[in-house]
Copies of this chain bind each other. A is one copy, B any other.
Amino acid sequence: MDQMITHIKSWIYTAAEQIKESFDEDLQVETKSSRKDLVTSLDKQTQEYLTRQILNYDPNAKIMGEENGRDHLTDLSGRVFIIDPIDGTMNFVLEHENFCIMMAVYEDGVPQLGFVYDVMKDEFLWGGKKVGVFRNEQQIKAPKDLGMREGLVGMNTSLYKKNAYNCQKIGDHAMGVRMTGCAGKELIGIILGHRNGYISNLAPWDYAPGCVLLDALGMKFSALDGEPLKLDGRELFIAGTPTAYDEMRAIIANTAI
């Protein structure tokens, strides 16, 4: 497993260098499902680069990725890599920062390794249950189990705007609401104790890499209704410290879902 970690980190660092070099070039930006759903030539190039490295390393690997049209796998048997080449594409395009390269590795449906790299901040969270969780090269411990009222909560704009599932009430209880436009950064936030929770509408590649790390640190996450995440298309998502997660779920449960 150590060897695989070394490989994956080197692929992600190389992909990050390629992305940073691209800032001098003209970016090709296209829209997907709406004018706010962007994909760039760099998302695609990065996905292709990471896919090639994975298949060179393990020709039998299955790959689920944001930009290869495979948003679900019929079964999770064998070794599965879940890739988000650029998480926070809007930030990448407009800010040139606040985006992550992310990857998760599953074996027969069991999460093994997660990698979340905030490229411009050079902050790399990686690890898993067996190896521990690291911030760059330093192993980290679980954050404090902050209650909902003691920390900041990350929110999806649309859910917050509509007060869906009492999201505004959750925001009122928290010390503050943050919107960053990058699931990876929000999950890093929980891992480091900078957030007590996060509620959004996410695809598997948005949540799987960070959730491997949250799981290894004893944090809680699920679909918004409390059911296990399905790794199969977009889902309403909630994560948090154990205490804040339970408190948020109690507020959500009082709404008609």
Contacts and interface: CB of A to CB of B under 8 A. Distances in A.
Interface in A95-126: 95-97
Contacts of A97: 194
A179 B178 contact: yes
Interface string A144-188: 000000011000010011000000100100011111110000000
A243 to B, nearest CB: 15
Nearest to A162: B168
A242 to B, nearest CB: 18
Question: A interface, by DSSP: helix, strand, loop or mixed?
Answer: mixed
Interface in A1-56: 35-36
A181 B181 contact: no
Contacts of A175: 35-36, 90, 94
A152 B90 contact: yes
Given A95-B152, A152-B95, A194-B95, A90 B176 contact: yes
Nearest to A121: B121
A177 B151 contact: no
A245 to B, nearest CB: 17
A171 B157 contact: yes
B176 A36 contact: yes
Interface of A: 35-36, 90-91, 94-97, 151-152, 157, 160-161, 168, 171, 175-181, 189, 194
Closest 9 CB pairs of A and B: A95-B194, A179-B179, A157-B177, A178-B179, A176-B181, A161-B168, A90-B176, A94-B152, A177-B179
Given A94-B152, A160-B161, 7 more contacts: A36-B175, A36-B176, A91-B152, A94-B151, A160-B160, A161-B168, A176-B179
